[in-house]
Structure 1
């Protein structure tokens, strides 16, 4: 009997080992070969160093850059087994750094219906939304949530949000959750409201609004800001396989865009752990910068149940704690100092100017608590009233616990005024501007949300340059697609979708824009010693473009990424499943 038990235990242990081994190899990503020495010659190599030096050749030994110089100087380093890339005049520069986004959000199409309007999608009306959802409802069980994302009420024919009755027309039994393109609003059908326990008696959560039907206390289905938290956790409780599908899709999209460092801002402990382990397993080859959301992790940090020191490596960092102070301008939830230019459809308050998720004393206390524990902070503020709150809270925390180089980040900073730019410089704050707004929402900022004067000031990059204030730019993906060419082009031209220029005096030049997604984006997260520029000793995170972004605005908008290297390993080559060398002159 004892032998049988021992044998059974051995079998179980062997079976567990097999399962773990299979799981490990299933989850682990491919690791390309690392040549001992790689030489890049005959190129336009933009180093993004302090002097923006341009060289024609570079040597990479193992994972790091060994030398930069002329073609002859670098070719003199060639030895047996060296891989030589003849760039043939193409542009090589540091891999792009996503200064702020929500990885793996661009992979949401793997788990839900993309309800974006042109130019990103095909949805033009609430009827179109219903058709997409009806098609999605043909699969899955009746108890499964139907999930859609990316709808923009201001681009719909009806110029309004869908309501629960619109979604009930798709299903009265299956719960439906639609996430607004801003990520700050959602619409739920009656079955979904019932599943979440939201009814006429449910009070608005602090920092959020359950929008009611006219002349009634019944929920309309529209949820603003913190009210989305009442539903989102269960509506977006994706399976492990769904999560992997999202990560794989997003990873490939970011590589194709030339992004070697990705960012996920506002994660909970579950997503933090998931991204960390997929990074360790190299399922995500890019470097990963994660901002845990204060509302989700502060209690764990205070109790010691969570330590961000456990999530630090060359390829992964929980680099800042994120605090969301207000919402989005296009969602009418950004907190402005003056009323919106045109109030949203159905509004009866001409003085409405959005709202903050916090009272000032509450924000002061939270910022002070985290700042005094030496965390870097990233505070979301879109409206100028919210930015005032952010600056006041940081000043309050710094007075309580002075730190020489805390590098707090203002996320988005859409409506930053000139006086606020000056205060940011004085307080050592790095603004990360969502400058692609000028293209995607610029016309509506001017004509609907903010008016001509305030609309022309969104993302005041030139004022930051004039103040010698270091800044970054970002796409906030999946709010807009991961398209670094579009981001750079909008920062330089400020062209809207109609072709108009919005705030010509806030334009910057191409080199300034490139620095905002390379070395200055590295600096934002205390990574400037290792990445962000091509200098001796730094990791060889590289992107090769098919044309020079410096040559023209057309080149800047339309460049294609030819190859991407991360720490010397090639992970992407356009048009191929695996990388090869452009010209191998090994000796």
Structure 2
């Protein structure tokens, strides 16, 4: 039976038994062999493809924590502090003051029918310490039209008076997460899921369920393709019946260049309902669609002041953050899903949230011992040495938000965490020294989907201002590349199928213009991606 052999300047396999090669053989969507052309000669008749002979091939990048919202939100106006490129290649400028935000939002209303809500996203209030965005500023844009501005961390939003009135929140300022002026009136800022969902419910929009729509998934996959990503997660999906059907129909198409791993949002259902929903979805899995993960949201975000921090709390004296559910309920959820044999991916930004979840996992393991559970703490921004040693003992994986160092490192150094704790932001090297399974992620759409940038953050540890935070936590380029390939696959229980280039695994590849190990460190995120391959099918980038 004939197969195809692809030649490259170099192949970085992520296979410790054979780290490098020059040729890879592909048949029936899988890797048939890796080595030199001479060593592959005994595999039978082949067709030699040399179009990538001057390129460098890696396993397709694996994004272990992102959201299909990346494919949804570009239907709305971007309003972030940093410039950002949309799926069409257009770069949207950053909005660096409230006046610029108001002008931008006003310009978006021109094309909207009267009364239709204006939704924008990406706003980051941490960069506006002098002037807080409130309902008053949004009323200055349009007092009659409902306006919703999602914050970059996706844990907060600001709405105008028309939206507060429509959602009946004017008289419900005692609801947790509805922030107020000094006189007790809601100021338009809503924090965490309970308050935010009141807005979504009023508008009849479920942004997370929209992540399962075909058009959204196609857009998500094309964004990923541009950056060499072949396996994506959607780490907060309600797994509605219609959503599962749409994911199945879309992902299984040959022209959609991704594998998808959705994680069910645990707080959407009772544990009994959620367990049944995940197990039912698993019956519709395929090579390109994998179920079995459960996402649990504990606290919020540090830069949004909603993360739960241990003593002494926030460096600038701000009140401690919020739980998305009572700690007792969060603990029970961990135990129930663990008992059911499912894998939990748990949002833990603050170190108090890390403590709570390590307690919950330890108690679950005492009651129902499970080797190789691979429960994964996500973000774990300032996890400390004692917590990491405990995680190692419990067999917990850590997937760290390396991009956070660049986008919010300066803020944490100056305002939220101070000097000492900012040195242990995303302590990847310490976790690696302890033998903990680790990965790194972008949390798109919170930050852009770009794994080579994520790898650069893990290596350079440089903030937007150029300061290096925690140089002792820096990784080598070689180690960082493993974080976005085989290590990320491990946290998804897919390392037996992808993440490295070796016999029997899916033929998923990222074809790069340069060898990441040979360019200057600051050129790492700028390396061009010529194409990706998913299951032996090539997708060229323009």
Q: TM-score, normalised by structure 1?
A: 0.85
**1:247 aligned counterpart, secondary structure:** helix
The answer for the alignment partner of 1:193 in structure 2 is: 164
- Helix, strand or coil at the partner of 1:459: coil
Q: Deviations over 1:220-256 (max 9, x none)?
A: 1100112112113444457989955443332211100
Pair 1:258-2:222 in alignment: no
Separation in structure 1 between the aligned mates of residue 314 and residue 174 of structure 2, nearest angstrom? 29
Alignment-derived partner of residue 292 in structure 1 = 264
Choose which of 518, 529, 533 in structure 2 pairs with 1:565.
533
Supply the distance in 2 between the matched residues of 1:369 and 1:58 (Cα, whole angstroms).
44
- Flag the 1:362–1:161 CA change in 2: closer, same or farther, 3 A: same
The CA deviation at 1:215 is 2.5
Report the CA distance shift for 1:291/1:536 in structure 2 as closer, same or farther (over 3 A): same
Partner deviation per Cα, 1:373-423 (whole Å, 9 max, x = no partner): 111111100110110001001111111211112110101010100011111
- CA 1:37/1:161 → structure 2, altered by over 3 Å: closer, same or farther? farther
Indicate yes or no: 2:285 matched with 1:312.
yes
Q: Paired residue for 1:212, among 164, 171, 180?
A: 180
Aligned to 1:268: 238
> What's 1:177 paired with?
148
Count of residues paired in the alignment = 527
In structure 2, distance between residues paired with 1:52 and 1:400: 41
Q: Deviations over 1:4-62 (max 9, x none)?
A: xxxxxxxxxxxxxxxxxxxxxxxxxxxxxxx9522122421111013461112221112
Matched, 1:48 2:21: no
**Is the Cα contact below 8 Å between 1:106 and 1:477 reproduced in 2?**
no
Q: In the alignment, is residue 514 of structure 1 matched against residue 481 of structure 2?
A: yes
Q: Does 1:164 align with 2:135?
A: yes
SS of equivalent to 2:306 = coil
Task: Determine which of 128, 131, 152 is the counterpart of 2:124.
Answer: 152
Unaligned runs of 5+ in 2: 85-92
Tell me the residue number matched to 1:327. 300
Q: Pick closer, same or farther for the CA change 1:126–1:507 going to 2, 3 Å.
A: same
State the Cα distance separating 1:96 from its structure 2 match: 0.2
The residue number in structure 1 matching 2:105 is 133
Relative to structure 1, the CA distance from residue 266 to residue 241 in structure 2 (aligned partners, 3 Å threshold; closer, same or farther) is closer
- Larger mean CA deviation between 193-202 and 228-237 belongs to 228-237
Contact 1:494 / 1:502 at 8 angstroms: preserved in 2?
yes
Separation of aligned partners in 2, 1:459 and 1:262 = 21
Helix, strand or coil at the partner of 1:230: helix
Match of 1:540 among 491, 507, 514: 507
Q: Residue 231 of structure 1 corresponds to which residue in structure 2?
A: 199
- Cα deviation 1:180-200 (Å, max 9, x = unaligned): 000000011111111212123
Q: Distance in 2 between matches of 1:112 and 1:86?
A: 39
Contact 1:435 1:491 survives alignment (8 Å) = yes
What is residue 219 of structure 2 aligned with on the other side? 249
- Aligned partners of 2:271 and 2:336 also within 8 Å: no
Instruction: Give the drift of 1:538.
Output: 0.7
Contact residue 406 and residue 461 of structure 2 kept, 8 A = yes
* Aligned residue in 1 for 2:45: 79
Distance in 2 separating the partners of 1:201 and 1:565 = 52
Q: CA RMSD in A?
A: 2.3
Shift of 1:468: 1.0
Alignment of 1:168-567 (within 5 A): 168-204=139-175, 208-216=176-184, 218-226=185-193, 227-235=195-203, 236-237=205-206, 243-270=213-240, 271-282=243-254, 284-298=256-270, 301=273, 304=276, 307-343=280-316, 350=317, 352-552=319-519, 553-567=521-535
Deviation track 1:94-137 (CA, whole Å, cap 9, x = no partner) reads: 0000110112425412x211001134432112222222221221
Give how far 1:74 is off: 3.0
The whole-number CA distance in structure 2 between the counterparts of 1:546 and 1:325 is 40
Q: Secondary structure at the match of 2:499?
A: coil
Query: Which residue pairs with 2:63 in the alignment?
Result: 98
8 Å contact from structure 1 (residues 108, 246) kept in 2: no
Change in 2 beyond 3 A, CA 1:286/1:298: farther
Residue 59 of structure 1 aligns to a residue whose secondary structure is strand
Aligned-partner Cα distance in 1 for 2:436–2:471: 19
